[in-house]
Every structure is written in C-alpha cells, then in structure tokens.
C-alpha cells in the first residue's frame, strides 16, 4: 500500500489494471431521465482518450457499477472496454470476479470510486483513487485524491499520472 513517502513511480509500477466506478467518476454523478423515462449520462471525451491510451499501453480497464444502464454499455463498447459489471451494490465479490477474468490480483489494481459502495474495493487494492468531489469517506479511503471532479476528466488525470510515472506517457505524444 502506498505511504506518504512513496513515489508515483513506485506506486504505479505494479498497476496493470484500472477498475472504475461510473456515476460520480466517469460521470458527474447526475442521473437524467428524458420525457420517455430514458436515462442519459454525460461522459468526458478526455477520459475516453485516456482509457484508450491506457489500453493501448497494454493494460486492462474495467467498469464496476452498482447501477445498470444502456449508456454505460454503449460507452464501454465505444471505447473497447470488454469487462463491464453492472448492478452490483456489493462491489467486492464482483471485483474479485473481474480480477479472475482479467488475470490480475488486487496488488495489481487501481480502483477509482467516489462513494460508500466503493470503499470495500478501495481498501483491498494496491491503489485507491477518488475524484476531488468524492464523498468524504471515499476521499479518506483513497491513496490519491485527484484535482478533477467526477465526469470532468478525473479518469484522464489518473491515467496520465500513472502512465507518466511508468515512463509510458511520451509514447503517446504525436
């Protein structure tokens, strides 16, 4: 587990998989329904590019959400995210199943979450991360608290920090 004396490079070195919550992390946490009861979500384009760069670097990215919806499936499909687990209020057992599918251990995982259901995973992985506007308890459980808020580029900030620490960011610059 990272300590206050750990460097980004030493923290990032074992990380091969990012597991992300959706609402409040990949989105701003607002749930919007149209007149027909269809739920919509807003995703940040820079997060999408960051996820693609992370996966192009040979690392895994997966989604774990307590809620379920087509918008998440569509965004995952668009980005090439193959592992998406939705509808799991108890996130730890679902996270363990994802680790097995992805062939990784908690010691190789970075989890980013913003609220109480995320803490069970955050406290069991190598690197726990929270967006700037996460709930107090999630921020307290995090090793890194980002400058960006959920849905405002938090995923991109995380990925850029990890790839820079791994010495892999430069390979993505034109």
Residues in binding site for substrate = 23
* Assigned token pair, 5: 């004396």
Binding residues for Mg(2+): 21, 114
Burial (CB < 10 A; 0-12, 13-18, 19+), residue 156, is buried
Nearest CA to 65 out of 46, 39, 45, 34 is that of 39
Distance CA 135, CA 57 (A): 31
Nearest CA to 113 out of 92, 97, 93, 98 is that of 92
Neighbours of 160 (CB within 10 A): 17
CA distances from 33 to 30, 65, 66 (A): 10, 18, 18
Binding residues: 21, 23, 114
């Amino acid at each position: 587990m990272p300590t206050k004396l750990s460097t980004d490079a030493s923290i990032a070195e074992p990380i091969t998989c990012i597991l992300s919550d959706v609402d409040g992390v990949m989105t701003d946490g607002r749930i919007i329904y149209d007149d027909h009861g269809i739920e919509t979500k807003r995703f940040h384009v820079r997060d999408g590019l960051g996820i693609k760069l992370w996966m192009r670097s040979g690392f895994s990215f997966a989604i774990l959400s307590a809620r379920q919806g087509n918008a998440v499936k569509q965004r995952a499909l668009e980005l090439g995210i193959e592992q998406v687990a939705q509808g799991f209020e108890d996130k730890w057992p679902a996270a363990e199943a994802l680790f097995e599918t992805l062939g990784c251990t908690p010691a190789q995982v970075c989890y980013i979450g913003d609220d109480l259901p995320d803490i069970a995973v955050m406290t069991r992985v190598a690197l726990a991360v929270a967006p700037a506007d996460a709930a107090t308890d999630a921020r307290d459980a995090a090793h890194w608290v980002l400058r960006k808020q959920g849905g405002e580029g938090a995923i991109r900030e995380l990925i850029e920090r990890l790839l820079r620490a791994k010495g892999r960011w430069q390979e993505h610059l034109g």
